[in-house]
């Protein structure tokens, strides 16, 4: 056993370096978005949105086969439509956003399955849904890099009003008209991250690296900036350790990364500063995050 074991696979194999780079970029990009989703009590929205992008991706697939760009654009458009409709419905009617999002994503998912079944088999559908982190080509890396750049810049621009709306939407509405557009821009960033992640890395990895590090970080620090920073670190750690596990233990790489993130979450839940063991606040508070 030597320290060499920790980087030898990445020195020897280009596919390992690419996998690590792709997963780290995704962790940096999706982690903060996941934190805001969590603070807005929309933790399950990421999962719902990953289904909602299917009809767009399927339409792109029908038009041009398994090509990364048309499927990505199609998926982005479909996800955006679902997110906007859900957001608008929750704002103009009494229905809450989780209900309208559930309704629209189910409609979208059914439409997607229908489209895929028009041409090709379910095997093709699996190809659409599960990209693998081990097969990142140049196109996929550029795509994830572009998504991360747009996402980080976008999030920085709307950070303050978004944060204000998380804490007190009525206050923000009373002093500014920014609430609605900010919320919609944020939803667009969520979709962008998911679409970038799903084609290159698979839906499990895209949603997993978005939500699990955010949920784990909440047990350690309090301010939203700190939670976002810790979430990114956790995401990077999960990507690195998961790939090592996949290399040495022969586990499938996507699930390995997410299981490491899950382990980080469980350890944080028990031993975190705000976790089960060390927390001095009332136990009921824990269930919020």
Partner 1 sequence: MKSCLVVATLALMATPVAAAPLRAVASFSILGDMVKSVGGDRVEVTTIVGPNADTHVYEPKPSDAAAVAKAQIFFVNGLGFEGWMDRFVQSTGYTGPLIVASDGVKSHDFVDDGKTVTDPHAWQSLANGLLYVENIAKGLCGVDADGCATYEANAKAYALQISALDASVKADIAAVPEARRKVITTHDAFLYFGGEYGVTFLAPVGISTDAEPSAMGVAKLIRQIRSEGVSALFIENMSDGRLIQQIANETGVKMGGELYADALAEPEQGAATYLDMFKHNIALLVPAMQGK
The interface region with partner 1, picked from 13-21, 24-32, 207-215, 225-233 by CB under 8 A, is 13-21
Instruction: Name the residue among 201, 193, 229 with its Cα closest to residue 30.
Output: 193
Residue 201: count other Cβ atoms within 10 Å of its Cβ: 29
Whole-angstrom distance, CA of residue 273 vs CA of residue 97: 32
Residue 254 interacts with partner 1 (CB under 8 A): yes or no? yes
Tokens standing for residue 264: 């980080």
Q: Does 7 bind partner 1 (CB under 8 A)?
A: no
Are 250 and 257 in contact by the 8 Å Cβ rule? The answer is no
Cα dihedral 142, 144, 146, 147 in deg (nearest 10): 160
Site for partner 1, residues 133 to 152, rule: CB under 8 A:
134-137, 140
How far apart are CB 16 and partner 1 at their closest, in Å?
Answer: 6
Interface mask (CB under 8 A) for partner 1, residues 256-275, using x and -? x-------------------
Counting other chains too, the contacts that 88-91 makes at CB distance below 8 Å and 24 or more residues apart are 91/180
Instruction: Answer yes or no whether residue 249 interacts with partner 1 by CB under 8 A.
Output: yes
Say whether residue 66 binds partner 1 (CB under 8 A).
yes
* 4 lies in the binding site for partner 1 (CB under 8 A): no
| 91 in Cβ contact with 113 (< 8 Å) | no
Stretch binding partner 1 (CB under 8 A), from 101-109, 126-134, 259-267, 271-279: 126-134
Residues at the interface with partner 1 (CB under 8 A): 9, 12-16, 18-19, 66, 126-127, 130-132, 134-137, 140, 243, 246-256
């Amino acid at each position: 056993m030597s320290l060499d074991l920790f980087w030898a696979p990445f020195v020897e194999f280009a596919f390992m370096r690419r996998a690590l780079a792709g997963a780290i970029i995704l962790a940096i990009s999706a982690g903060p978005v996941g934190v805001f989703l969590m603070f807005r009590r929309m933790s399950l929205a990421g999962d719902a949105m990953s289904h909602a992008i299917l009809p767009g991706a399927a339409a792109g697939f029908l038009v041009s086969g398994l090509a990364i760009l048309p499927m990505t654009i199609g998926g982005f458009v479909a996800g955006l439509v679902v997110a906007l409709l859900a957001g608008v419905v929750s704002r103009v009617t009494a229905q809450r956003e989780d209900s309208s999002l559930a309704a629209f994503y189910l409609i979208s998912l059914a439409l997607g399955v229908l489209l895929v079944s028009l041409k090709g088999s379910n095997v093709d559908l699996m190809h659409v849904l599960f990209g693998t982190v081990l097969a990142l080509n140049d196109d996929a890396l550029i795509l994830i890099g572009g998504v991360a750049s747009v996402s980080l810049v976008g999030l920085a621009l709307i950070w303050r009003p978004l944060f204000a709306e998380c804490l007190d939407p009525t206050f923000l509405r009373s002093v500014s008209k920014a609430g609605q557009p900010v919320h919609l821009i944020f939803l667009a960033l969520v979709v962008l991250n998911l679409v970038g992640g799903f084609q290159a890395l698979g839906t499990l990895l895209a949603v997993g690296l978005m939500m699990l590090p955010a949920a784990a970080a909440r047990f350690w620090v309090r301010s939203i900036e700190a939670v976002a920073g810790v979430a990114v670190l956790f995401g990077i750690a999960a990507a690195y350790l998961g790939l090592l596990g996949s290399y040495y233990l022969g586990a499938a790489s996507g699930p390995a990364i997410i299981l490491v993130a899950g382990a980080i979450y469980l350890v944080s839940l028990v031993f975190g500063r705000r976790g089960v063991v060390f927390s001095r606040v009332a136990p009921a508070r824990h269930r919020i995050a």
